[in-house]
Every structure is written in structure tokens, then in C-alpha cells.
A and B are shown apart, each in its own frame.
Chain A
Amino acid sequence: MKSSRMLGLIMIAPAAIMILLFFLMPVVLTGVFSMTNMTTATGISGGAYQIAPHSLNDLKSTMPDIAEQMSQPRYTIDETGLKAVEGLGLDAGIATELRAKHMGEVFKTRREAERMIKGLDQGPSTTQVKQISEQFNRSVVNSRFSSRQELFTALDTLGFKLTDAQKDSIAEATYTGWNWTTENFSRIVSSPDMARVLFNTLLYVALVLVLFNTTYAMLLAIWTHYMPAAPATIFRSIWLLPRITPVVIYVLMWKWLAWDTGFISVLMGKFGYPPKNYLLDNAYNAWLFVILINGFIGASMGMLVFSSALKAIPKSQFFASEVDGASRWQQIRYIILPQMRWPILFVTCYQTLSLLASFNEILLSTRGGPGKATEVWSLAAYHTALNNYAGNLEYGLGAAMALVLVVIGIVLSLFYLRIFNYGTLVSRPLIED
């Protein structure tokens, strides 16, 4: 009894490992990424502290004085500067005097520093003063520090006396790596662009699902059901072609049809219309093509499922309804459709989920265009995280979008499983242990 249970676990182990590696891990990683602000700029490993112009800009709002000071160069009499002065080949006394009298002093402006140098006993000339002061110019702007401590030490040396809170904000503003944040989700919720993409997604899923994946698939199944066997098979095979053609070639054929030297342009040219790219000409056309391209692929699956469900209805029921006086339409309405409830539900569930996740056809045909007219959620996530024109890939935001999609998918699955009454579909195993 125990050994058989062990055997079951052992046999399921490879599948369990695969699920962990290839399904659960990506989901977990997506979850982790979604809680960060990773982008191409931050990289995915740690970052450094750099007082870049944009970080000073950020600081201006909270501590305008310090930000202003940090943006200005400071003059610090330090060993490095003294060494440089010695290297200038001037009177050696100048360096010695500076080291003796002014070591460690900080001057907030060039003028203050030069006044001090002019006042030296050695009395350097005006040209020399400029040369010397230049050696002590210490600006933090654009300098890079690999840790917080280095950053603070440098600021300290330059004479910035900062509180801990101020240090924290400076560190935060100058950090070039990624941070933990929930900002991605608030951005998704509040952005009007995201609302538009969500609307597009709903429109896309609903139209393809209702028009093609269920209704048209059902029509195909019923047509072929009433056809003689040979033409029915040919007809079904034709509708399978979009599904079995490699998607790149399939979409390319649509593009040939639609672009400005393509079939439609040539045909319309005969009636005097100038050639144009019908696919991307305007948003309505783009939507029409997106729905046709996906619908033609999706119709075949419903057709197959519905056809086999139709075949499962005993022939005698068709005979019986005929002798009962039912016309063909009544036969469809009262005998076929009521018995198609489960297949329809199944196709609806399955296709909803696969439409939500699929964007390859749209990517290959319109790329979400024109503008962002046909950008759907999964494509937007792809564009955000993996491939966009601007080149700054927002991994964190993209992951958050993907996570939202996963959550929608899981919620829908649970909802559908409930409708399916999944518990009753899965019967207890016949072999008891």
C-alpha cells in the first residue's frame, strides 16, 4: 500500500520538477520583478551612486539649498591638489605654504579660494592663482561612488554637513540600481494608456471569441455536419489551414494581401482608388484585419470540437426529430444546440485564456499600430519589458503587467472550472490502494 503510493510520487516527480522549473519559477520571478523598478538603465544587478544632473533635479524639490550647493564646484585644499600644484613647476614655497597653513580648508566659491591664494606670502601672480585654484576644484557632479559610505565620505570632505535624513534622500536620488517598489501597480491602475490597452484587450478577446471561435466555428460544424462526407472533409481541411500554417508565413500572406502593392490595392486600383497599406491605413482597418487573422486561426479548433460533439449525438435523434416533423432549423435549435452546451463552454474558456495570452499574430501584423490602436495587454507587456523603440526596457513594469495577466487568467480559470463543475468531471480512481 505504501509502496504503491511511493511509486506514484516517483512517477510524477519528473513532471512535478518540470512544472516547478518551467511554470512556477517564471511565475515567481515575474512576481519578484514586478515588485522592482528594474529597467535597462538600472540593470538587473546592483547599481552605484552617481550625482547626475537628473538626481540633483530630483533633490531640488526636497532640499533646494543643498542641491544648489552640490551642483556648484567647491575648492578643497587637499593632498591631491597640493601634489598637482607641485607638479606645475611653480615656486615650491607655494605648495609648502598651502600645506602648512590651509590644509583641509574648504571654499564654497572660486573667488573665495583665489582670494586666499592671492593672500599667500609667496604672492603668486594672477595667472598662477587661476592655475593653482584649478587644482583644488572638487565637483561632485557626475562622480560615481560604488557605495553609500564612499558617497557620504566624499560629501563630508567637501564640507557638506548633512543630517541622516538628508543623507538618505541623497542616496536614494543618486542610486543608479533598482529598488523594491509597488509603484508599477499604481502606475497600471492610474495610467490612461493602460486603460486603453485594457479596453483593446477586452474588445479583441470578445470579438474574436464571439464572432469566430464560437459562432462561426459552430456554423462550420453544422454546415459540414449536413454535407456529404467527402466535401465536408475537404471543407474542414481548408479551415484547418490557418491553424497548421506557420504563423509567420500565415501573417505574411495577410500582409501581401493588404499592403500597398498587394492584392487589395491592385484590385481597388482597377476602380481608380490609389494604392495604400490597407492593414495600417486606419484603426478600423487594423482592427478588422487583426480580428480576421486571429479568427480564421481560432475557428478551426471550435469547428473540430463542435463537429466531434455533433458526431456524438446518436443518429437516431436526428431521425426521430425528422419524423417528429422538425425542420432543419428546428433540429438545430432544439436538438443540436442544447446538447452543445459543454463544448461551447469548453471552447469559450479555452479560447478566452489563449486569446488573453497570445499576441504573436498582432505583433507580426500591425505591431499594435497604427499608433497604439491595436495594442493589447500581452503585446503591451512585451513592448514594455522586452522590445520597444525608445530602448529603455522597463522590466519591472512589464513583469507587473504580465502578473496582472496571470492573475486574470487564474481567476478566469477558477471561474470556468466552477461552471464546468470540475469536481464531478474528475471521478475517483478505479484502482484503490
Chain B
Amino acid sequence: MRVLLDNFSKSFGTTKVIENMTLEVGHGEMLALLGPSGCGKSTTLFAICGIHRPTGGRILFGDRDVTDLPSQARNIGVVFQSYALYPHMTVAENIGFPLKVKGMPGEDIRKEVDRISGLVHIGNLLGRRPAELSGGQQQRVALARALVRKPDVLLLDEPLANLDAKLRLEMRSEIRRIQRETGITAILVTHDQVEAMSMCDRIAIMKEGEIVQIATPAEMYNDPRTAFVAGFLGNPPITFLRGVMANGAFAIPDSEIRVPLPVSIAASEGTKLMLGVRPEHFTPAGDIAVSGKVTFAETQGRENLYDVSLDGGPLLRSIQPVRHDVNIGDAVTWAIDSKGVLVFADDGRRL
């Protein structure tokens, strides 16, 4: 079911958290609300749940206006960061709770619980209590409870934040699989760009209560609208060089470094610019040679990550297949791939 936030605003007392936000999530789509802490992503999610009432605008599920409906009347499933399982109920009772409060007969509840627990692979845990489950199992129970009533929308509030790294990888693909199998519209709130990119059809990246860009993960990675988006996506993160426009090229004052810019970039001579260089675009294979000293080296098994301090002082990051000939302190001359660079105006706007 389509979800539409139409000019949605939310403030707490005099603190305005969200102002006039419009966001549409398509039917069966999984969308990530991505942003740093305090950007308003959880507030948005809670407003969609009905836990927070909007101070302005409308919320629509399909064509139904749910703005003034309480949570109970919205038919949504929510997975909370802490899972919020009921400690005094067994797994089966937890999952069946949304059906029980609806007044469904016990026999039907049992059938539905069996069906959904099969889907999330916890059929063998139904008799246990939440305290007897591992984090990943609790996560699955929370997911099953959110899905059992066949909600119109599934909302996930940092669902993986409390899991250890390996489980996080596993649950990432599990949640995506379950969302695909059920075809449910889902909204994922996260501050982790890897989660957002790997799980979702589209990402809405938020900053200070506003959506900066909505796009598919690949689009957003390759074509970020601002330096903030470019900086938020990608691991290891992008590095920025500060410089000016000089003779159609990007130049760092007091240094030899010149990066020719495409003609489409219209900036007058002397304009301050930022050049974003992702680590995979600064390797021995590029076309604009740059010299510097390795100040940090980290092996990640398959790849190595290097920080290179350039002559003028700025830092570039490079990721390359594992090699053993470069150590901290070595002088290197690697090259920037001019086709991969992202050019931003001084205020962060992409040019």
C-alpha cells in the first residue's frame, strides 16, 4: 500500500523537528530513512505509527487519510529497536497478541502464528519466553509479531542496531527476503548507510528535519546531490579536497595539484570548490598523478586502505587490492581518476 506524507510537520513544544516534509513510498516498496541522530527520521516513523500526532500536514495510507487515527486503527506493523517483546508472554503469545486483541478465535490465531513463524524460521521456539532467546531470535519474533496481522505498512526502527556484526549481516538479508515474499510496503529507519543501501529499493536521506535526496542506492552513491549525501554514503567514506577554479581546472592553492573539470561545470575563475574523491578513485591506475606520504594503513583482508597526506596538507583515501610494498611513512605517487570525481560548490551543493 502506498504511503504518502503530505506537507507533514512535527514539533515538540517550540522545537520544530520536521517542517513541511513530503514523502511518498510506493506500493510494495522498501524505503530507508537514513540520517544521523537527531535528523528526525524516528520522529517521522513514529508519526506514521500514530504514536506521535503530526502538528501539520496529512498522512495517507493508500487513499485513506490516517492523520487523526490512533495507532490501533492504522493496521501497521512495527519492529522497534529494542524489539519491545512482552517479557511475560511466550513467543507464540507475543506473535499472536495483535490477533488476540482483535478478538480472533484461538484456533485461528494458532494457525496464523504457525504460518508466520515458519516464514521467519522460528517455528521451534514458540514455547519459549523472550528472555530465553538470542538477540537474532528476538528480532525474528518482533518481525513475526509485526507481520502477523498482515499490516498495510511495515515500519522498522533501527531493527539491527542491537545485533552483533555477523547477525546483522544475516538479518539484513532475512528482512529483505521476508519483505519481498510478503510484498509489503516497508519503511526502514537507520543511521547505517550500509543497511540502507543493501536492504532498500530507495533511500531518503535526511538532515536536520529535511529530506536532502531520495534515490535508489546506486543513484545516490554515484550521483549525490550534496556533499553531505556523498559523505554519508560509502564505506570507507569519501574524502574532500578544498580548492579553487583556475583555468577550467580544480586547483589547490600552494600546490601542484590540478584536476581538469568537465566543461559542464560552470564556475567563474577563483570560485571556491570542493572535490570529492572516493577511495576507489584514488589508486595507481588513475590519470592525474598526485604525490604524498602514507600516514595510515589498514588491511581489510581482501583490500587495503591507505590514508595519504598530500604535499599541501590535505588528505586522500585509497582502497586497493592487498599489497605488501607500501608501509606507513612511504612516499607514494598515485593518481586520481578524473571521471570519478564529484565537484561541489563551497556550500556543499553538487555542481
Interface residues of A (CB under 8 A from B): 314, 316-317, 319-327, 330, 334-335, 338-339
Interface residues of B in 46-66 (CB under 8 A from A): 46, 49-51
Interface residue SS majority, chain A: helix
C-alpha gap A339/B82 in the complex (Å): 18
Contact status A316-B82, CB under 8 Å: yes
Are the CB atoms of A322 and B72 closer together than 8 Å? yes
Q: Are B102 and A323 in contact (CB under 8 A)?
A: no
In the bound assembly, the distance between CA atoms of A324 and B80 in angstroms comes to 12
In angstroms, Cα B65 to Cα A113, docked, is 124
Contact with A along B79-101 (1 / 0, CB 8 A): 01110111111000000011011
A324 touches B145 (CB 8 A): yes
A316–B51 alpha-carbon span in the complex (Å):
10
Q: A319-B84, A323-B71 are in contact. Are A334 and B97 (CB under 8 A)?
A: yes
Query: How distant is the Cα of A320 from the Cα of B77 in the complex, in angstroms?
Result: 9
B97:A326 contact, CB within 8 angstroms: yes
B101 and A323: CB pair below 8 A? no
Q: Kindly state the separation between the CA atoms of A314 and B81 in the bound complex, as whole angstroms.
A: 12
**Does residue B205 face the partner (Cβ distance < 8 Å to A)?**
no
Nearest CB of chain A from residue B214's CB, rounded to whole Å: 25
Contact across chains for B88 and A338 when beta carbons are under 8 A apart: yes
23 example contacts (A-B, Cβ-Cβ < 8 A) are as follows A314-B84, A316-B81, A317-B86, A319-B46, A319-B49, A319-B51, A319-B84, A320-B85, A322-B51, A322-B70, A322-B71, A323-B51, A323-B71, A323-B72, A324-B145, A324-B149, A325-B101, A326-B97, A326-B101, A327-B101, A334-B101, A338-B88, A339-B88
Query: Are B87 and A324 in touch, CB under 8 angstroms?
Result: no
| Listed residue (B46, B70, B84, B149) with the most chain A CB atoms within 10 angstroms of its CB | B84
- Note all chain A residues with C-beta closer than 8 A to B85: 320
Nearest Cβ distance between residue B207 and chain A, in whole angstroms?
A: 26
A415 to B210: give the CA distance in the assembly, Å: 61
Q: Complex Cα distance A322/B53, Å?
A: 14
Q: Is B281 an interface residue (CB 8 A)?
A: no
Cβ-closest 6 pairs across A and B: A316-B84, A320-B84, A324-B98, A322-B71, A326-B101, A338-B88
B97-A319 in contact (CB<8A): no
How far, in whole Å, are A316 and B158 apart by their CA atoms in the complex?
Answer: 13
Q: Judge whether B101 and A335 touch: CB under 8 Å.
A: no
In the complex the two chains form, is A325's CB within 8 Å of B72's CB?
yes
Q: Which A residues are CB-close (under 8 A) to B49?
A: 319, 323
Chain B min CB distance to A229 (Å)? 13
Q: Which residues of B contact A330 (CB under 8 A)?
A: 101
Chain A residues within 8 Å of B100, by CB: 334
Expressed in whole angstroms, the Cα–Cα distance for A430 and B80 within the complex equals 34
Contact status of A327 and B72, CB under 8 A, knowing A319-B49, A322-B51, A338-B88: yes
Write the nearest CB–CB distance from B138 to chain A, whole angstroms: 13
Chain B residues with CB under 8 Å of A323's CB are: 49-51, 71-72, 74, 76-78
CA distance A318 to B172 in the complex (A): 26
Contacts A320-B85, A322-B51 supplied; 6 other A-B pairs, CB < 8 Å: A316-B82, A316-B84, A317-B86, A320-B78, A324-B145, A327-B72
C-alpha spacing A320/B80, complex, angstroms: 8
| List of A residues within 8 angstroms of B50 by Cβ | 322-323
Chain B residues near A326 (CB-CB < 8 A): 72, 97, 101
Chain B residues close to A by CB (< 8 Å): 46, 49-51, 70-72, 74-78, 80-82, 84-89, 97-98, 100-102, 145, 149
CA distance A1 to B81 in the complex (A): 47
Write the nearest CB–CB distance from B71 to chain A, whole angstroms.
4
Give every chain B residue within 8 A of A325 (Cβ-Cβ).
Answer: 71-72, 75, 98, 101-102, 149
Residues of A within 8 A of B149 (CB): 324-325
Contacts of B71 in A (CB 8 A): 319, 322-323, 325
Residues of A within 8 A of B88 (CB): 338-339
Distance of A317 Cα from B97 Cα, bound (Å): 12
Please give the distance in Å from B234's CB to the nearest CB on chain A: 32
For residue A333, which residue of chain B has the nearest CB? B101
CA distance A206 to B49 in the complex (A): 44
**Whole-angstrom distance between the alpha carbons of A322 and B50 in the complex?**
9
CA A91 to CA B149, docked complex, whole Å? 128
Q: Kindly state the separation between the CA atoms of A326 and B50 in the bound complex, as whole angstroms.
A: 13
B78→A319 contact, CB < 8 A: yes
In angstroms, Cα B101 to Cα A51, docked, is 83
Q: How far apart sit A335 and B88, CA to CA, in the bound complex (Å)? A: 8
Tell me the bound Cα distance from A317 to B72 in angstroms: 14
Residues of B within 8 A of A320 (CB): 78, 80, 84-86, 145
Within the assembled complex, what's the spacing in Å between the Cα atoms of A321 and B145? 10
Distance between Cα atoms of A326 and B96 in the complex (Å) = 12
Residues of chain B lying within 8 A (CB to CB) of residue A317: 84, 86
User: When the two chains form their complex, are residues B51 and A324 in contact, meaning their CB atoms are under 8 A apart?
Assistant: no
In the complex, A129 Cα to B256 Cα: how many Å? 158
Docked-complex contact A321 and B97, CB < 8 angstroms:
yes
Chain B residue nearest to A327 (CB atoms) is B72
Interface pair B51/A335, CB less than 8 Å apart: no
Give the complex CA separation of A334 and B49 in angstroms: 21
Whether A319 contacts B80 in the complex (CB less than 8 A), given A324-B145, A325-B149, A339-B87, comes out as yes
In the bound complex, how far is the Cα of B50 from the Cα of A128, in angstroms? 119
Bound complex: CA of A339 vs CA of B85, how far in Å? 13
Bound CA–CA A323/B157 (angstroms) = 13
- The listed residue with most B CB atoms (<10 A of its CB), out of A317, A320, A322, A323, is A323
Q: How far is the CA of A54 from the CA of B89 in the complex (A)?
A: 72
| CA gap between A102 and B54 in the complex, in Å | 123
Residues of A within 8 Å of B86, CB to CB, are 317, 320-321, 334-335
Cα distance, A319 to B76, chains bound together (Å): 12
Closest to A324 in B: B98
Complex CA distance for A316 and B76, rounded to whole angstroms: 15
The chain B residue with its CB closest to the CB of A341 is B88
Q: How far is the CA of A314 from the CA of B86 in the complex (A)?
A: 10
Residue of B nearest to A338 (CB): B88
Q: Do residues A324 and B101 form an inter-chain contact, with CB atoms below 8 A?
A: yes
Which residues of the other chain, B, contact A327 by a CB distance below 8 angstroms? Answer: 72, 101
Query: Which chain B residue lies CB-closest to A329?
Result: B101
- A316 touching B80, Cβ below 8 Å: yes
Query: Whole-angstrom distance from the CB of A330 to the nearest CB of chain B?
Result: 5
- Which residues does chain A contribute within 8 Å of B80, judged by CB atoms? 316, 319-320
Question: Complex formed: what's the CA distance from A326 to B81 in Å?
Answer: 20
A164 to B181, CA, bound (A): 105
A326 to B89, CA, bound (A): 15
Shortest B148–chain A CB gap in Å is 9
Minimum CB distance partner of A317 in chain B: B84
Shortest Cβ gap from A329 to chain B (Å): 10
